[in-house]
Structure 1
Amino acid sequence: MTNCRLCGSAGMASVVDLGATPPCERFLTAAQLDEPEATYPLHLRVCTECWLAQLPPLITPEETFTEYAYFSSFSTSWVEHARRFVEGALPRIDRATPFVVEVASNDGYLLQHVVERGIRCLGVEPSANVGQAARDKGVPTVTEFLGPDTAAAIRAEHGPADLVVANNVYAHIPDVLGFTQGLRTLVADDGWVSIEVQHLLTLIELNQYDTIYHEHFQYYTVESARRALATGGLTVTDVELLPTHGGSIRLWARPEAVAGGPSARMTDVLAREKAAGLHELSGYTEFAERVARVRLDLLHFLIEAARAGKTVVGYGAPGKGNTLLNHCGIRPDLLAYTVDRNPYKHGRFTPGTRIPVLPPDRIDADRPDYVLVLPWNLRAELTAQLSYVDEWGGKLVFPVPSLEIVEPRLANVEVTS
């Protein structure tokens, strides 16, 4: 990477180099196990001018999202999060007949709550398979990638949106300038844009390096997100701190002509970022060392468990899990298999590490000594799902932010932060 994709600066500093891994959602079929597998460098850098953390665009969104393995609705807590968002966001819209658009609407996990209220809406989802799942729920959905041209076509056909939602997508597009222009085109001149994206502050503070993968081209602070949205004529006026994905920000932006000044809580978050050194290079210099400690601790545990004849299996097959597994070099000799609620992944193998993905009931059948929880960000939800592991004295293992081995009934008593 030579230049920042946001401001064009050549001043790029290394944050952490995780080697080379396959794209995190390219799960392998059994027939593909004897075929070559492409890997790409996974090296996070930060621009020393605008402070946007970023990966080089080595894969395209079309390669990843034309058919996608992730269906949002398999997480019950995420669907409930979306319901609460809809309930809280609609009062911001001062319209008798509002229109809501969600970009990267996935399987209708959020817009289904808008449909239930009889409000006109539209999903814009590039993945044909998950978009069809949304239409099956009665959520109007077009299969498109958002850019200036597609946004203009959507606005011409459906009219401007009073609320544009972009949850967990603003990090997924290499053309941040074109995507931002598309958001501005979609939204009404007095409308709102709501964006949820992982907060770089918590990623750095809590060693959440497994959320670095090729689908994520950018990693935002409020300051860098503010600068990115300004390129499309959108002004961030408010921010909420959310617990989702280990720590996210919900940005509220408006067209600059009607935006007004920043809220007190936005000012507070900007001050926290500055105090953590994220508006200068000092906040990034020790991250790689802390990442190395996470890897060493997890490998030490798995190797000692194997020497002691203990069985360790995984729970979940998220993208973040594949970053962790590949960076640590974990193979089926250390992690026999992992399970996932998504049947799309059953019978497949994790990219790079080739660990089998099985249905969840396999854990109850095998009664392993330890269950390594890969989607650690869903700790409360998954601890409830895994409470039965207590029946045979099994324990749960959380690798991030630091290694933690707990009995299921105690897993949510005191969460490390």
Structure 2
Amino acid sequence: MKIAVVGTGYVGLVTGTCFAETGNNVICVDIDKNKVDKLSSGQITIYEPGLEKLFLRNQKEGRLHFTTSLADAVKDAKIIFLALPTPPGEDGSADLKYILGVADDLGKIIKEYKVIIDKSTVPVGTAEKVHAAVAKNATVAFDIVSNPEFLREGVAVDDFMKPDRVVIGTTSEKAKKVMNDLYAPFVRQGNPIIFMDEKSAELTKYAANSFLATKITFMNEIAQLCERMGADVDMVRKGIGSDERIGKRFLFPGIGYGGSCFPKDVQALVKSSTEADYDFKILNAVMDINEKQKLHLLPKIKAYFNNDLKGKKIALWGLAFKPNTDDIREAPALYMIDALLKEGASVAAYDPEAMNNVRTVLGTSITFCEGQYDALKDADILIIATEWSEFRTPDFDRITKLLKHKAIFDGRNLFDLKHMEEMGFYYVSVGRKTIGSNN
């Protein structure tokens, strides 16, 4: 099939590359000429494990192309994906100006039947708005389909190539046939293609992400109780995760969720609920708790230094909101850095992939280090904010020699409590007892 993908951000580039991998001819379009030039020359513009290999292979095979011309991209394409940003407005609502702007342009361009697909995460009712925007200028038949993505950063290629399910919102039998043929190669092992109406598909994406955010937040609340009651959140997690009705995933406590999806989608669903005259109390609580959780370690760090962080040098491992990505949107580490700087501390940070992105935001206000141990030199303590694999089994003797204080504040519960106690660390984690004494 010939496919056009409008937008070469995270979702658009993964979508275009993976469809090319199954033999389709894909043209990705973006208004950013610099980005298009980089992509056309074989330079991938995002970090996502496994993506670059597919990207380069399909470019070489002539199945993956890039352009700044919307008209050229959609001319021969039967299927058009809209993978455009929907940033939150000040009131939390998703901003649809990019999607509706392209929809307006498509109505003027298309000369034959097209299936136009909302791939972006959009509020309920967006398909109707896109249809109206295209229809305003269109002189040919077309269908609007809602096909939300369920990609996890860090494993997005596997998620796309081997999806748990494919959700497709359309009431058009013609569009159903096109979409079923398109996704058939991805569900050969029997995972379902679930057809539903457009509004249900739009709500499904928000409901899924909001539920997962709620699950994480619930465990962070349990962690708060564990700290106060002397229980161990890891034991509680294992105890409830073995119940198949609950499951093991998204039960790990920490310093809050971040990223491009959970914060934005929860906020947007709350806004949509308000517009529907419904007070979504659970999600309002989720947002409030998550904001507080991002700074969960701060009072513990201040207490360690008798509430005086002025002149203290803090080593920070991890800047991305999660491992295996360079995405720093709503990353808890950024909230921690801001709080530490306001307290008069300095920060030396290391992250395997996200430092360039943070540098564009923070400039020279913190020190960026070439390696994880470089960040420890002359630092008072270590904070861990992202659970990168290379942080899980560090050289603790080296950490001891480099830090002024043998103290680690772990926002991701990477280390075994007994092991930390045996090595004589002052070790603070989330929802577990504190090891050692700060005296």
TM-score scaled by length of structure 2: 0.45
TM-score scaled by length of structure 1: 0.47
Question: By percentage of residues, which structure has more helix?
Answer: 2
Could you say which structure has the larger radius of gyration? 2
